[in-house]
Amino acid sequence: MTFKDAVQFHGHSCPGLAMGFRVAETALEALDFDRSTDEELVAIVENNSCAVDAIQVVCGCTFGKGNLQFRDYGKQVYTFIKRPSGEAVRIAVKWKPRPENEQEKTMWQRYARGERTEDVLRVVHARKAKKTKDILVAGAEELFDCRRFTADQPETARIYPSLRCNQCGEKVMEPKARTKNNEVFCIPCYEAHLNP
């Protein structure tokens, strides 16, 4: 998988995607992960930014397969665990972009205030492209703090029975169902019921 593949999936090239791409590469290398065996890789991501799209493409860790777990901490931290061995690596982004020059600073302020003129966009886009390139060519040790460890085994994706919500009649998987007075509800109906 190349950065181009990630761009195609994500829809644009950006610094966040580039960082995710480097995280993914670094993880695969650190864990010596080989897609051709029965091993599986689980990714735990602590943000839901552009970076995560690159991780899905490059590592094959996806939300739908259940081997991508999202912890909403707003941190640029990514943990990868190889199953069944439990070999793991935690990758924390420490990279600092090169400082903005005066023009970039002014244009960024104007952009942040909502200005979308050609002048502003040209400088902002150029700055982003430069950042993307810097990330793609930087050494992994410049970008990340990596720590290897052996993890407890994360649970595999499970299949749960479905129940039917008493209010809307739609199906809901058992662990997500709520009950009140022996009646089963889906979460939206339960919440609407509590706060009518």
* Beta carbon nearer to Zn ion, 139 or 169: 169
The stretch among 117-125, 129-137, 144-152, 157-165 that binds Zn ion (CB under 5 A) is 157-165
* Beta carbon nearer to Zn ion, 40 or 134: 134
Residue length, the chain? 196
Provide, rounded to whole angstroms, the least separation between the CB of residue 2 and Zn ion. Answer: 17
* Beta carbon nearer to Zn ion, 112 or 187: 187
Site for Zn ion (CB under 5 A): which residue of 167, 178, 184, 193? 167
**Between residue 11 and residue 50, which ones bind Zn ion under the rule CB under 5 A?**
14, 16-17, 50
Does 143 engage in binding with Zn ion (CB under 5 A)?
A: no
- Site size for Zn ion (CB under 5 A): 9
Which residues contact Zn ion by CB under 5 A?
14, 16-17, 50, 165, 167-168, 186, 189
